[in-house]
Amino acid sequence: MQVYLTALGCRLNEAELQTWADEFRAFGGHITNDLQTADLMVINTCAVTSEAARKSRQTIRKLHRKNTRAKLVVTGCYASLEKEQAQELLGVDMVVGNADKKKLPELAKEIVEWSSMPYAATEPEETALFVRNKERAFIKIQDGCRYRCTYCIVTVARGDEQSRTIDDIVAEVNRLQTSGVQEIVLTGVHVGGYGSDLEVSLYELVKAILEQTQIPRIRFASVEPWDLPENFFELFKNPRLMPHMHLPIQSGSNRILKKMSRRCKSETFLSLVEAARKVVPEFNVTTDIIVGFPGETEDDFELSKKIISQANFGHVHIFSYSDREGTKAARLPDKIDNETKKARSRELHQLATIEKIKSMKSVVGDVQQVLWEGTTQRSEEGVYRVFGHTENYHKIMLELEQPINIANQITECKIEGFSEEINCLVATLVNPESIQSDQLFITQVE
């Protein structure tokens, strides 16, 4: 049985794919990247914005067009919020809401003729993750959110908070490491709220992973800034915890943050960034900012510009606000016109780009451990290049004399400079002999 899995939206959706991949494999299924050969297609949808919901519908139709023979299962936030609409889309055989996601592989078996061999007949300790991503695994540590930001529909779609136990997560990390994974990303709807239903905390989980596993690199998906205790950044003294966090601020204006029902003021946020950089000076903070929220004045917008400069973000995801039916913000007065939102978005993008380059250039001259990702590429000029990420999650490139496949290797590198041409850092190897060069594999860049 050939199973094709795909996701839109957040890292949590990607993490759920991995869980299902392992479960389908336990039933004797085979995870495939070839849509044409699939007997079963599963799409984990997104509905964080109206545009995301539209893309979810578009992708569902596209999957069916490309393989009309396969059974199609739709799940995720769009499937939960618009279940009847999803069921009516051409080609959809089953809709599984977020509440039933844990049972998805079992439910999906009901609509296909399942005749594969059982798990006992397969090799132990294998992982379906290698079909999608060999270097980095997303681990779902919890689901749901107890907060209700006025613009957010995800909390409605995902429901109450449910955390996995520390023992369960540690066991998964150890399984992934045995399979060769070098880096994990802890993800969820409300990562910082991990353990609220189990009387444990994110701090305790991270300590357990550091103590009970040997996974080389640990990262976080988006974490709400108000959830972190004062001593949290002390954990980053351990070099296995990568010095980067995505902390969404959403606006630099406290007035707008209050209208959003956010629980962090701009000055508190900046103090948090300062605390992180006291422990690791090159700590990279990335963030989200919404422009054009109802009632946003020019003064409010200027405060968002100001915080980008003050925090020296390594990257800013900028979103133009749009009404999402079912949220409180959709009912707020004083909507901002589209032209104003577009102009403000352009201005923020320009400023964020300047700060991003400044942040990247600040690590030039440093020596860091780099995880290389994907295959070696040959440019039109005949140069062999491989890309990866620094410890603080800046994109970096290494030029090689031969088309050696060094994917999933961690090497010590000196950061030599910043390339304006490809908009990333440039590395040289500190110990070239450390490269494991038993494989030659190359893709031609078109």
pLDDT of residue 47: 87
Residue 121 has pLDDT above 60, yes or no: no
Q: What is the pLDDT of residues 57-114, one digit of tens each?
A: 999 999 999 999 999 999 999 999 988 899 999 889 999 999 898 889 889 988 886 6
Q: Does the pLDDT value for residue 132 go beyond 70?
A: no
Spatial strand order of the sheet with 315-320 comes to 244-246, 284-291, 315-320
Per-residue pLDDT at 443 exceeds 80: no
User: pTM of this prediction?
Assistant: 0.81
Kindly list the structural domains of the chain, giving each domain's residue range(s) and its CATH number in brackets, ordered by start. 2-121 (3.40.50.12160), 132-361 (3.80.30.20), 367-444 (2.40.50)
Does the pLDDT of residue 169 top 80, yes or no?
Answer: yes
pLDDT score of 124 more than 70? no
Greater confidence, 395 or 102? 395
Per the model's pLDDT, the better-predicted residue between 374 and 319 turns out to be 319
Task: Tell me the C-alpha distance between 269 and 94, whole Å.
Answer: 43
Computed over every residue of the chain, the mean pLDDT equals 88
pLDDT at 158: 81
pLDDT recorded at residue 235:
96
Q: How many CA atoms lie within 13 A of 322 on its CB side?
A: 14
Give the pLDDT of residue 441. 43
pLDDT recorded at residue 440: 44
The whole-number pLDDT of residue 133 equals 52
Mean pLDDT, residues 42-64 taken together: 91
Burial of 136 (C-beta count, 10 Å sphere; 0-12/13-18/19+):
buried
The confidence band for 159, taking pLDDT boundaries of 50, 70 and 90, is confident
SS (H, E, C) the chain: CEEEEEECCCHHHHHHHHHHHHHHHHCCCEECCCHHHCCEEEEEECCCCHHHHHHHHHHHHHHHHHCCCCEEEEEEHHHHHCHHHHHHCCCCCEEECHHHHHHHHHHHHHHCCCCCCCHHHCCCCCCHHHHCCCCEEEEECEECCCCCCCCCCHHHHHCCCEECCHHHHHHHHHHHHHCCCCEEEEECCCHHHCCCCCCCCHHHHHHHHHHHCCCCEEEECCCCHHHCCCCHHHHHHCCCECCEEECCCECCCHHHHHHCCCCCCHHHHHHHHHHHHHHCCCCEEEEEEEECCCCCCHHHHHHHHHHHHHHCCCEEEEEECCCCCCCCHHHCCCCCCHHHHHHHHHHHHHHHHHHHHHHHHCCCCCEEEEEEEEEEEECCCCCEEEEEECCCCCEEEEEECCCECCCCCEEEEEEEEEECCCCEEEEEECCHHHCCCCCECEEECC
For 180, 375, 417, 443, the CA distances from 435, given in Å and listed in that order, are: 16, 15, 21, 19
Confidence band, pLDDT 50/70/90 cuts, at residue 363? very high
- Average the pLDDT over each of 145-149, 198-202, 387-391 and give the range with the smallest value: 145-149
Per-residue confidence (pLDDT) for residue 437, from 0 to 100: 57
Q: What is the pLDDT of residues 311-346, one digit of tens each?
A: 999 999 999 999 988 899 999 999 999 999 999 999
Mean pLDDT of 231-253: 96
